[in-house]
Structure 1
Amino acid sequence: MAIFRGAGVALITPMHEDGSVNYEKLTEILEEQIAGGTDAIISCGTTGEAATLSEAEHMDVIRHSVRVTAHRIPVIAGTGSNSTETAVKLSKEAEEAGADGLLLVTPYYNKATQGGLYEHYKAVAESVSIPCILYNVPSRTGVTIQPETMARLYRDFENIVGVKDAGGDLAMSSRLMSLVDRDFLLYSGEDGIVLPLLSIGGSGVISVLSNIAPREMHGLCESWFKGDVEGARREQLRALALIRALFMEVNPIPVKAAMNLLGKEVGPLRLPLTEITEENREKLRAEMERYGLLPEGSGRG
């Protein structure tokens, strides 16, 4: 049940100045992503400010993304929750809306045991038929899905097909890949280590950087899959300084600022997220200039 191979974008959710979702702008950036070679749209994940969308908004954004994308590339809906009941409800609705797959973050705050994580994902997987990608991001959720638990879920449920790994632990990722077969989908959840994860059998990345550089992130993965290791290495290393800048403040603060610097007019963030500091905005602008996304000296005068 493969969903995509390459660079999927963890898409931002554009807002009007009053904080409401800007669906006209969402249409525009979806079309730009498709034209830019993005391999999949990930809707309503962390970067999409899912934590501050109401359930109604959450589903409206997913439905809109599915409708606009029209199956030209897959749409993967973020439907995870710290409430299993809510995760099941959102997942069913996303499947009914036509999503091609689900991204399921580990339950946050509860700090479930490995047994609890297994039962949580079992409940969601049994409620839908579309592919499910687990999302391991302990820095945000306070809990890690251990490789043995992921492998067990993969074995037991046909529609649990892989993981977005944002744990940053290459040894743990390698252990996971030793426990599963080659059909398992390992997606990097950190733009700075895409190539290392590809080297142990990864299928690509779910990328923040792809919001502003979709063609480049697609190209990094494509180079690897074509056997151009040196080309993939060059692109990974070239992007590192910009990737660091995109995480100077908590995601998605910098990436939304970056899109606005590009003239995309994607609007503000919802509290408790606040706008990037002026000092960090200038650092971000400088890295975007170095990477070639903005002309040199764009912030002067």
Structure 2
Amino acid sequence: MLTFPNIITAMITPFHEDGSVNYEAFVNLAKKYADEGTGILVAATTGEGAVMTEDEKLKLFKMTADALKDKTLVMGNVGTNNTAQSIALAKKAEETGVDAILCIVPYYNKPNQEGCYAHFAAIAKATKLPIFIYNVPGRTGGKIEPPTVCKLAHDFPNIIGLKDASGDLDYAGYVAANAPEGFHLYSGDDNLTLPIVAVGGEGVVSVAAHVIGKEMDEMIQAHKDGDVQKAAKLHQKYLPFMKGIFCTVSPVPIKTMMNMLGYPAGPFRLPLVDATPEVRAKCEQLLKDIGKM
């Protein structure tokens, strides 16, 4: 039976200097976060999944699933704006051993709600894997509305969760109130983690967890345990960091920080480029402000 931790780390993908995937570094980093109690999301936005090949993703899925079997939740990103392509990748993901898959609302096409429903329904019918819908209007140019999410969750038992990066607490509140019992609502914005948990969410699919995963887990658990004041204080303490890691397009800041902290995160793949001196200085200061450097 799947268990869902407070934190799912949306992992960076380390690359070698020649641009190839550093699989060993990824798995070692995934083990570190699993030991800290977080789940692992592979090859999504933070992992530069948009510029990875299908073979690279599937290899990462399998290596991570093999390394972390029965230790923590492993989720693979299979979402694209092409329904047939997403279905094909989901079927291949079944063979890798991942526990669940993440599917983004189709970008560029900007389907209406009927199209969004049909897209996710087709994927749900084609795979046995549990599915998380990923709503991120700032990247896709469109969104899936809360009633559509809830209808899908009621109609398809393997649509089990939502990563919501809409920035809209009304959105999260509607899903929390109207989705089936046991539906997993996660924030997709680090800075809104506590507010979303407060309206009925379960946790966060996190970028900040690369650096402050333990602290964010403590914050969420404090709220769940009824210590609202402690949770609020932790939120206030780390909010500048949670917002600061998006001072330029993600994952540039967090990957820059990981390199600063001595992890083999490596370079970026185009069209992303290295942080400017100004962004590097900001990253260094953010780490100093929370005592990590």
Global fold match (TM > 0.5): yes
TM-score (norm 2): 0.97
Q: Which whole-Å CA distance do the structure 1 matches of 2:42 and 2:290 have between them?
A: 26
Shift of 1:226: 1.8
Aligned to 2:204: 205
Q: Which whole-Å CA distance do the structure 2 matches of 1:256 and 1:116 have between them?
A: 35
TM-score (norm 1): 0.94
C-alpha change, 1:8 and 1:291, in structure 2 (3 Å) is same
Letter in 1 for 2:31: E
Q: Which whole-Å CA distance do the structure 2 matches of 1:245 and 1:286 have between them?
A: 10
Aligned to 1:31: 31
C-alpha change, 1:2 and 1:151, in structure 2 (3 Å) is farther
Q: Report the 3-state secondary structure (helix = DSSP H, G, I; strand = E; otherwise coil) of the residue aligned with 2:9.
A: strand
Aligned to 2:285: 286
Matched, 1:7 2:23: no
C-alpha change, 1:30 and 1:41, in structure 2 (3 Å) is same
Q: Report the 3-state secondary structure (helix = DSSP H, G, I; strand = E; otherwise coil) of the residue aligned with 1:102.
A: strand
Q: In the alignment, is the contact (CA less than 8 A) between 2:131 and 2:158 conserved in 1?
A: yes
Q: Which whole-Å CA distance do the structure 2 matches of 1:75 and 1:30 have between them?
A: 10
- Give unpaired runs (5+ residues) of structure 2: none
Q: Report the 3-state secondary structure (helix = DSSP H, G, I; strand = E; otherwise coil) of the residue aligned with 1:212.
A: helix
Which of 28-37 and 257-266 deviates more? 28-37
Q: Which whole-Å CA distance do the structure 1 matches of 2:200 and 2:7 have between them?
A: 15
Aligned to 2:270: 271
Q: In the alignment, is the contact (CA less than 8 A) between 1:182 and 1:201 conserved in 2?
A: no
Shift of 1:213: 1.9
Q: In the alignment, is the contact (CA less than 8 A) between 1:3 and 1:100 conserved in 2?
A: no
Shift of 1:149: 0.5
Which of 97-106 and 181-190 deviates more? 181-190
Letter in 1 for 2:60: V
Q: Which whole-Å CA distance do the structure 2 matches of 1:276 and 1:230 have between them?
A: 36
Q: Report the 3-state secondary structure (helix = DSSP H, G, I; strand = E; otherwise coil) of the residue aligned with 1:121.
A: helix
Which of 166-175 and 217-226 deviates more? 217-226
Aligned to 1:240: 239
Show the 5 A alignment for 1:89-108: 89-108=88-107
Q: Report the 3-state secondary structure (helix = DSSP H, G, I; strand = E; otherwise coil) of the residue aligned with 2:185.
A: strand
Shift of 1:59: 1.0
RMSD: 1.3
Q: Which whole-Å CA distance do the structure 2 matches of 1:173 and 1:155 have between them?
A: 17
Shift of 1:37: 2.4
- Give unpaired runs (5+ residues) of structure 1: 295-301
Shift of 1:177: 2.4
Aligned to 1:73: 72
Show the 5 A alignment for 1:121-270: 121-270=120-269
Deviations 1:102-128 (Å, cap 9, x if unpaired)? 111111111111111111101111111
Q: Which whole-Å CA distance do the structure 1 matches of 2:52 and 2:234 have between them?
A: 34
Q: Which whole-Å CA distance do the structure 2 matches of 1:144 and 1:273 have between them?
A: 24
Which of 79-88 and 22-31 deviates more? 22-31
Aligned to 1:54: 53
Q: Which whole-Å CA distance do the structure 2 matches of 1:89 and 1:220 have between them?
A: 38
Shift of 1:183: 1.8
